[in-house]
Amino acid sequence: MVVGLLHTFKDNFRAQKILLAAKFSGKEVKLDDLFELGKSNCSEDFLAKFPLGKVPALDLPEWVQAKESGPPSAGLIESNAIAYYVANQTLRGGLEEVNQARVLQWMFFSDNELVPVVFNYLFPALGLMPQKDSCADENLFRLLNYINGYLEKRIYLVGEEVSLADLCVATTLLPLFKHAMTKERLVSVNQLVRWFETIVYKKNSQLILGKFEFCTEVLQCSPGLGKSFEANV
């Protein structure tokens, strides 16, 4: 079932969680293959539907819009809302209300706590900012240690199956582990690494993300990749 048309740019971690949610739910999200960051999202047509010009943005099918009262809206913005929309009940935490709340907890944690700290470490490491904050390492490992401790007796972040909690946190960590954090530096958070590999090596994940490999050497970022990272945040 096609649930919408997603406007985004390549390797947008915020869009990756949406595509993963759809794949794990057995749904289809079509990608806007003609999307060009800084051009497509500044066009009159795009801004008429999504006035903030933010991506990812999801165009909803006409049959969905037809059910809404009042003037039909163009679609959805905010990646967590879109991921929640395309996810099935299992990804949302199942039938237990406390698990549903925990899924939301980790989604909010990912955006509010993890994203700023991850990119505050990542940008300077890749040469996108002049120097690293003296507390960047400490702040990053404070959060990584927190997740690691939480996972000591758990396979997944919530319940016994993959949920949006896993998909959101994993895709937030993915650019860090892929470009600026070697596996050797993560020895102290082995439970986190075990969990991360469990998520990204699943068949559905690889269909969206490709074959993941940890960074082996921190390299200076190319201009194209740098633009993509900056747009992510």
Under 8 Å between Cβ of 65 and 4: no
Mean pLDDT score across all residues of the chain: 89
Averaged over 207-214, what is the pLDDT? Answer: 95
Long-range contacts (CB closer than 8 Å, 24 or more residues apart) made by 129-137 = none
Q: How confident is the model at residue 30 (pLDDT cuts 50, 70, 90)?
A: very high
Q: For the chain, give every domain's residue range.
A: 2-86, 97-232
Q: How many CB atoms lie within 10 A of CB 190?
A: 12
Domain 97-232 has CATH 1.20.1050.10: yes
**Quick one: 157 exposed, middle or buried, by C-beta within 10 A (0-12, 13-18, 19+)?**
buried
CB neighbours of 129 closer than 8 A, spacing ≥ 6?
Answer: 123
User: CA 213 to CA 200: how far, in whole Å?
Assistant: 10
pTM of the entire structure? Answer: 0.90
Averaged over 59-87, what is the pLDDT? Answer: 81
CATH of the structural domain 2-86, one choice from 3.90.1150.10, 3.40.30.10, 3.40.640.10, 3.40.50.300: 3.40.30.10
The pLDDT of residue 228 is above 60? no
Instruction: Name the more confident of 168 and 230.
Output: 168
Is-same-fold flag (2-86; 97-232)? Answer: no
